[in-house]
Amino acid sequence: MLASCWQLAAGHLYWSMVFGGWYYLKLDMNKQNIDYSLYLVTDRGLARGRSTLDIVTAAVSGGVTCVQLREKNCPTLEFIGQALAIKNFLKAREVPLIINDRLDVALAAAADGVHLGQNDMPLEMARRIAGRSMLIGISAESVQDAVAAEEGGADYLGVSPIYATPTKSDTAPPLGLKGLREVRKRVKIPLVAIGGLNESNAAEVIRQGADGVAVVSAIVAADDPGTSAINLKQIIDEARNP
């Protein structure tokens, strides 16, 4: 068995073969109250020399409601250090931190969740290790992916790609708005749309049933990430409440 879990008043106590002993994960977020409306995915390659923490700070000040830390070519120790620094900033603002791919980093940094792709750790295995308290998001590239993830206990879905995007080269063909609508019809858990989204098309994905808009370059590569976040949040809020 990879992990055992005992629920305590404010968190979970785990025995894990992965970490070789006991560790305690404190719960900071109520999973039912997560606001996915403006979901930032970081990418240091697009940051134009600015630190990830600086980007996150500006973006959250502008209205970002959820942050996914994505590091594809980063040593584990550095990844954990970044996660801890960003978690410290976000915690006081009640903005959840999601770690891309790496459940070990998410647990080490006491992040609020982990986001897994179709080729990452299986959802069932991740849930056994992380317990019920941690958010687990799953990338869904088809209606079948979405249905399977919901049935498997995912907390939310990253539906992708809606449009073609240069920030990821290993994606499935774009789903488009029609594909997003089909996913919305089949699942009830929150949907975060991602892939080629920006100020010009964010409103439409909300109108088609997405609970949130995930962006990378629209904020990370912007001249002013804070202003870009302000503009996107306004567009999303107006689409939700026409």
Contact between residue 196 and residue 167 where contact means Cβ atoms under 8 Å apart = no
3-state secondary structure of 210: coil
What pLDDT, in 10s, does the model give residues 190-215? Answer: 999 999 999 999 999 999 999 999 99
Residues 6+ positions from 29 with CB-CB distance below 8 Å: 94, 96, 112, 135
Q: How would you classify residue 141: left for phi > 0, otherwise alpha for psi between -120 and 50, otherwise beta?
A: alpha
What pLDDT, in 10s, does the model give residues 86-122? Answer: 999 999 999 999 999 999 999 999 999 999 999 999 9
Homologous superfamily of 29-240 in CATH? Aldolase class I (3.20.20.70)
Residues 6+ positions from 92 with CB-CB distance below 8 Å: none
Work out the average pLDDT over 142-171.
90
Q: Which residue has the higher pLDDT, 2 or 208?
A: 208
> Among residues 31, 50, 91, 168, which one is catalytic?
168
70 is an active site residue:
yes
Domain boundaries, the chain: 29-240
What pLDDT, in 10s, does the model give residues 116-143? Answer: 999 999 999 999 999 888 999 999 999 9
> Among residues 44, 70, 87, 233, which one is catalytic?
70
Give the closest residue to 160 by CA, choosing from 235, 214, 97. Answer: 214
Q: Which amino acid, residue 56?
A: V
Beta strands in the chain (DSSP E): 3-7, 11-16, 21-26, 38-41, 66-69, 97-100, 113-116, 135-140, 156-159, 191-194, 212-215
> Among residues 16, 139, 217, 228, which one is catalytic?
139
Residues 6+ positions from 118 with CB-CB distance below 8 Å: 138, 139, 141, 145
